[in-house]
């Protein structure tokens, strides 16, 4: 996408042509829908070629000299553009017909590949955290969070230094604006860690639906946003599934449920606070914008001092240095993998959201809870009753129904 925009802007600067209409990926749904809903994807691509051919004929300039600049784009640009092959024939660039077909295939398979990557990374992240906290009986959730966030910071910093991703430079004004968000973010991660330790994955997934209810209530009072009747019906179904699931849970743990309720409150607060401070955060940057990679770095970097403070205040450091499990190499492999997967979720979710849209992203996120719940029940041999199984299935259905209701 970004590669296409930069190419077209350079053409405009070189040939002084006024572009009345630019067709690019971000606007492809609105532009293509105005042509003909029954037109095939190949015909749509050919029409893009025709528009770009018209630009070329008016400018009478070659793009050969600016192609190297596009090649040096960031990793984010390269993940999403795929536009060079699309304009190859129009401007006589050194690309053959096969590359154009590869571009068409990439457009068709992009949502499937990105969606699969997002689902796999999300499932594996939850399962590995459960392994670390429960199977290894590691009772230091804050230390695990610190280690995972440190890994994310190091990886993003390295990618930024290599110019693989674009990272906004931090300043004190931005940090001050972001601090309230980050405090809630840390609480959200810590409570999530401890709830996952004491509750099985399926029930965690069902109870997380309560976050949607709290967020909807918050949106009503803070942003005066009204929900339709289907959404409220879905949320009522979520309440029924959560209550019935807790009553029929054979491995019920009051401490775990308390942590999960706190996690739902903090997750909803994080979502609402993020919306409130986002505009101020953008104003605190030099370019007036804050990309997703910068937000990942900002959240994880600012969480480190808070994590260190909590580790010492709660004497968790003493447990960590005396724990036998930290001497196991496999434990560090699993803990490191979970940290890398946490970062992978950030990137794959951005990729998938770009390839599809908020509607599809939300629906797939709800559907993704099904394999996570099944895997959690099977891998960790959770004691299960028939009523509890129906409660879990009902909760999963309520989550999917909620996503569909939000679409309408």
Confidence of residue 266 (pLDDT cuts 50, 70, 90): very high
Rounded distance between C-alpha atoms, residue 3 and residue 80, angstroms: 8
As a whole-number percent, the residues of the chain with pLDDT over 90 amount to 12
Q: Looking at 61-75, 156-170, 194-208, which range is the least confident one?
A: 61-75
3-class secondary structure, 92: coil
Looking at beta carbons, which pairs linking 349-353 to residues 24 or more positions away fall under 8 Å?
349/118, 350/76, 350/292, 350/293, 351/79, 351/80, 351/114, 351/117, 351/118, 352/111, 352/114, 352/115, 352/117, 352/118
Domains in the chain, number: 1
Q: Is residue 78 part of a domain?
A: no
Confidence of residue 96 (pLDDT cuts 50, 70, 90): low
**Full domain range(s) for residue 169:** 114-407
Q: Is residue 283 part of a domain?
A: yes
Q: What is the pLDDT of residue 69?
A: 42
Mean pLDDT (the chain) is 74
Q: Is residue 326 part of a domain?
A: yes
Q: What is the pLDDT of residue 86?
A: 42
Does 167 score more than 60 pLDDT? yes
Closest-CA residue to 53 (of 87, 30, 20, 25): 87
Q: Is residue 30 part of a domain?
A: no
Q: Is residue 104 part of a domain?
A: no
Confidence of residue 291 (pLDDT cuts 50, 70, 90): confident
Q: Is residue 5 part of a domain?
A: no
Q: Is residue 92 part of a domain?
A: no
Q: Is residue 256 part of a domain?
A: yes
């Amino acid at each position: 996408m970004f590669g296409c925009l930069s190419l077209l802007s350079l053409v405009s600067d070189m040939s002084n042509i006024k572009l009345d209409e630019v067709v690019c990926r971000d606007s492809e749904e609105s532009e293509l829908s105005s042509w003909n809903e029954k037109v095939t994807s190949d015909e749509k691509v050919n029409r893009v070629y025709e528009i770009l051919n018209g630009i070329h004929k008016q400018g009478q300039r070659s793009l050969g000299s600016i192609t190297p600049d596009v090649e040096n784009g960031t990793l984010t640009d390269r993940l999403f553009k795929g536009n060079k092959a699309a304009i190859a024939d129009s401007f006589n660039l050194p690309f053959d017909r096969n590359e154009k077909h590869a571009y068409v295939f990439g457009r068709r398979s992009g949502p499937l590949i990105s969606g699969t990557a997002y689902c796999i990374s999300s499932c594996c992240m939850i399962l590995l955290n459960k392994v670390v906290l429960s199977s290894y009986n590691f009772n230091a959730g804050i230390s695990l969070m610190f280690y995972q966030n440190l890994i994310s910071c190091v990886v993003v910093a390295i990618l930024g230094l290599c110019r693989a991703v674009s990272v906004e430079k931090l300043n004190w004004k931005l940090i001050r604006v972001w601090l309230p968000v980050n405090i809630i973010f840390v609480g959200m991660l810590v409570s999530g860690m401890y709830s996952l330790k004491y509750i099985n994955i399926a029930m965690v997934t069902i109870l997380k639906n309560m976050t949607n209810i709290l967020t909807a209530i918050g949106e009503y009072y803070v942003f005066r946003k009204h929900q339709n009747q289907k959404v409220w019906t879905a949320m009522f179904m979520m309440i029924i599934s959560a209550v019935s699931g807790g009553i029929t849970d054979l491995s019920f743990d009051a401490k775990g449920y308390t942590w999960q309720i706190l996690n739902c409150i903090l997750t909803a607060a994080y979502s609402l606070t993020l919306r409130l401070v986002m505009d101020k955060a953008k104003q605190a940057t030099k370019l007036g914008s804050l990309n997703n990679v910068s937000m990942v770095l900002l959240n994880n970097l600012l969480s480190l001092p808070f994590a260190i403070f909590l580790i010492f205040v709660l004497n968790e450091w003493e447990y960590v240095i005396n724990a036998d499990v930290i001497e196991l190499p496999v434990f560090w492999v699993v803990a490191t993998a979970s940290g890398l997967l946490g970062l992978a979720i950030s990137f794959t979710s951005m990729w998938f959201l770009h390839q599809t849209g908020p509607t599809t992203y939300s629906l797939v996120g709800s559907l993704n809870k099904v394999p996570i719940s099944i895997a959690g029940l099977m891998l960790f041999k959770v004691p299960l009753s028939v009523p509890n199984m129906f409660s879990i299935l009902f909760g999963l259905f309520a989550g999917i129904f909620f996503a569909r209701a939000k679409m309408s």
